[in-house]
Structure 1
Amino acid sequence: MTPASLPTDICLNGLIIRPGERVLTRLVISKLPSGTVIDVPVHVFRSTVPGPTVLLLAGMHGDEVNGIETIRRLVRRNLLQPLRGTIIAIPILNIYGFLNFSREVPDGKDVNRSFPGHPRGSLASRVAHRFMREIMPLVDCGIDFHTGGAARSNMPQVRCLLGHPDTDALARAFAAPFTLHAALRPGSLREAAFQQQKTIIVYEAGESLRLDEAGIDMAIAGTFRVLHHLAMVAEAAPPAWPSIVCLRHTWLRAKFAGLFRSHVQNGDFLAKGQVYGSVADPYGEGAVRLEAPVSGYVIGLNHMPVVNQGDALLHMGLVDEAEAARIARNPPFNEKPGRREETEDMDEVD
């Protein structure tokens, strides 16, 4: 990666920030109906040595607290002291959602589908526009921290558009347990950054409104590996295992409504045809055994026991048949492939 040349001073939110300075500034977004000002705290850590500017962003969705806690710990423990370049750390972008335990802003819109935004658009669009105006021009690359949605947990994973040298390098450096090739979504921060030739990778771990200590630890370790890759920190711990790259992934959805019981956990490997759970009639009249239609890893799991037809149950990172046979002989995360639990009342259906 060839970092953009940094001026001697940078300007953010009307402030001149000089090399070697550490600054906390607040971007005023709007006001609540009560008149309370809503602002976004932004930490800036600058070295005296020129280098890239790295963005660490969390709280795009206000209920996704793992990324917020990740950046909070990095700031609180005074770990963001770059040897060169600049680190911009934003623990919470969507203050509205954070205050309301919500993914969206009060108008119901998703900030991460509102980029690049507009100064006279919806509230989500205004948040996105302010970010693009103040922060994005300074950034060379970054990490956007997310979690699964309500009652859905994600195995720690990086999502990015593979096949681009800068993106591939950041994903390899982060070395999450899984790396997913993910197309750019319209209105997302990744798409807006890509259009400006900036590199943003997304880290996902855990579920909304619930802290996941293992996922947070991996987030901190992966962030340090990215900073080490960019020569911004002196050392970083190596990953516990090589990242598994999934070029394809899919959700397995409920064909029947009822009570869902999962027989697997995040990180388990499932062979094609293997039972991964059941959907039972709530009145005790029977249950349907669920079999995996493809081979792959469980990288996302629905914990909601009551499901309707079409609800997402499992997110799977896919592998080909030859790789599936090899993994079945030597699973990397578990002593054996996904745990099989069968009961007498299960019926086989197509």
Structure 2
Amino acid sequence: MSKALTIAGVDILPGEQCQIDVPVAKLYTDTELSLPVHIQRGKRQGPTVFVSAAVHGDELNGIEIIRRLISANLDVIRGTLILVPMVNVYGVLSQSRYLPDRRDLNRCFPGSEKGSMAARLAHTLMENIIKHCDYGIDLHTGAIHRSNLPQIRADLSDGETRELAEIFGVPVLLNSVLRDGSLREAATNNGTRILLYEAGEALRFDDLSINAGYQGVQNVLMKLGLIRKRRIKRKIEPFIANKSEWLRASGSGFVNEMFELGEQVTEGQTLAEIHSPLGELIQKVTSTRSGIIIGKQNIPLVQEGDAMYHIAYFGQNDDGVAEHIELLQDTLGESDNG
């Protein structure tokens, strides 16, 4: 594998490692906006894999996962690993999900060379990173005041994608449709197989989510042969959700919750109560089916229509999922700085 990989005019040869800044745009402060990228190439031929974070600028767990991957100085023996810790740099600076034009970057792919800032950033990522890659892992968290249980979302109808999702090592897999304008859709159209990792909450570090993601990325890299295989301490058996839905508030008020993230619920069970400021019961939020809580709102205030609990349904396997979530928490609950 003697061919150089060229990113933003920089040639990276097999066996080399480097960090580059890919130019994106100039702000009205005359400040350059660029995309920081870390590249590690093995000496032997193999697949090219990207790992990206902070497509939404307030989703920080992925940045820490990639920092740990860089600090670990992984021995890439074949192929190429491209790490992009902050896609939406401006959003990270402003602690915002969005770009200055209030656009959601994850609805702007594949982008345009002459479009809005969001379109140009999406185009820059596609042209400089994604088009080179055979595989990708995009790291996300829940929105502000909302947490997600560690989970993989992917096109599980594709056999190889499903195999990688399973080896990642989290208990919950969601067979997720492609969203128009998303990085995952654009990467798939490019022929890049991609996993989307969801875990934790915006603007917060969460040890369990970070540790699971850090280990999960390495599991995939071992499977693809980029790094040497080593024994996985405790394998987490994944379960595929056949359906998931958000339960919403039918009234506005203060929330008294009864269940936490990762807990098993049964059909008709009361998950929370919504009260008025004077104590009047406005609504009992009940589960419509038996399942596992994979996402929830954290702030104890709701407006009518707010999404409160994301429940995944696994048919007869709910008990097994709950047990394996506990195994994940026991195995990865302690901080591991890599």
**What is the TM-score of this pair, normalised by structure 1?**
0.89
* Residue number in structure 2 paired with 1:8: 3
* Residue number in structure 2 paired with 1:98: 92
* Residue number in structure 1 paired with 2:129: 135
* Residue number in structure 2 paired with 1:144: 138
Partners of 1:160 and 1:246 in 2: CA distance: 12
3-state SS in 1 of match to 2:164 = helix
Deviations along 1:41-80, one digit per CA (max 9) or x if unpaired, are: 11110010100011010111111000001001111232x3
Partners of 1:46 and 1:32 in 2: CA distance: 32
Q: Of the two, which has the highest radius of gyration?
A: 1
Partners of 2:106 and 2:232 in 1: CA distance: 31
3-state SS in 1 of match to 2:37 = strand
Matches within 5 A, 1:1-350: 8-78=3-73, 80-234=74-228, 235=230, 237-320=232-315, 322-324=316-318, 331-333=323-325
The two structures, once aligned, show a CA RMSD in angstroms of 1.7
Q: Contact between 2:2 and 2:13, CA under 8 Å: does it hold in 1?
A: no
Partners of 2:187 and 2:92 in 1: CA distance: 24
Q: Contact between 1:225 and 1:236, CA under 8 Å: does it hold in 2?
A: no
Deviations along 1:261-289, one digit per CA (max 9) or x if unpaired, are: 22111111111111211111111233532
The CA deviation at 1:16 is: 1.1
Change beyond 3 A, Cα 1:8–1:334: closer
Q: Which runs of 5+ in 2 are unaligned?
A: 328-338
Change beyond 3 A, Cα 1:42–1:308: same
3-state SS in 2 of match to 1:249 = strand
Partners of 2:29 and 2:325 in 1: CA distance: 51
Deviations along 1:140-174, one digit per CA (max 9) or x if unpaired, are: 00100000001000000001111102211210110
Change beyond 3 A, Cα 1:258–1:177: same
* Residue number in structure 1 paired with 2:332: none
Change beyond 3 A, Cα 1:7–1:279: farther
Deviations along 1:236-261, one digit per CA (max 9) or x if unpaired, are: 52455311211211101111111122
Q: Contact between 1:156 and 1:218, CA under 8 Å: does it hold in 2?
A: yes
Aligned length: 326
Q: Contact between 2:250 and 2:283, CA under 8 Å: does it hold in 1?
A: no
Partners of 2:152 and 2:75 in 1: CA distance: 24
199-208 vs 170-179, which moves further: 170-179
Query: Which amino acid letter does the alignment assign opposite residue 64 of structure 1?
Result: E
3-state SS in 2 of match to 1:221 = helix
Change beyond 3 A, Cα 1:332–1:95: closer
Partners of 1:85 and 1:134 in 2: CA distance: 17
* Residue number in structure 2 paired with 1:3: none
Q: Which runs of 5+ in 1 are unaligned?
A: 1-5, 336-350
The CA deviation at 1:82 is: 1.0
Change beyond 3 A, Cα 1:239–1:67: farther
Q: Contact between 1:52 and 1:86, CA under 8 Å: does it hold in 2?
A: yes
Deviations along 1:321-341, one digit per CA (max 9) or x if unpaired, are: x445x559x854469xxxxxx
The CA deviation at 1:117 is: 0.3
Change beyond 3 A, Cα 1:113–1:7: farther
Partners of 2:152 and 2:67 in 1: CA distance: 20
3-state SS in 2 of match to 1:38 = strand
The CA deviation at 1:305 is: 1.2
Q: Contact between 1:46 and 1:81, CA under 8 Å: does it hold in 2?
A: no
3-state SS in 2 of match to 1:105 = coil
Q: Which runs of 4+ in 1 moved over 3 A?
A: 330-335
Partners of 1:274 and 1:138 in 2: CA distance: 49
**What is the TM-score of this pair, normalised by structure 2?**
0.92
Partners of 1:332 and 1:170 in 2: CA distance: 18
Query: Which amino acid letter does the alignment assign opposite residue 139 of structure 1?
Result: C
Q: Contact between 2:251 and 2:282, CA under 8 Å: does it hold in 1?
A: no
Change beyond 3 A, Cα 1:165–1:334: closer
3-state SS in 2 of match to 1:25 = strand
63-72 vs 246-255, which moves further: 246-255
Q: Contact between 1:268 and 1:334, CA under 8 Å: does it hold in 2?
A: no
Deviations along 1:194-253, one digit per CA (max 9) or x if unpaired, are: 112211110011000000011100001101110111122222524553112112111011
Which of the pair has the greater relative contact order for Cα pairs under 8 Å at 6+ separation?
2
Percent identity over the alignment is: 37
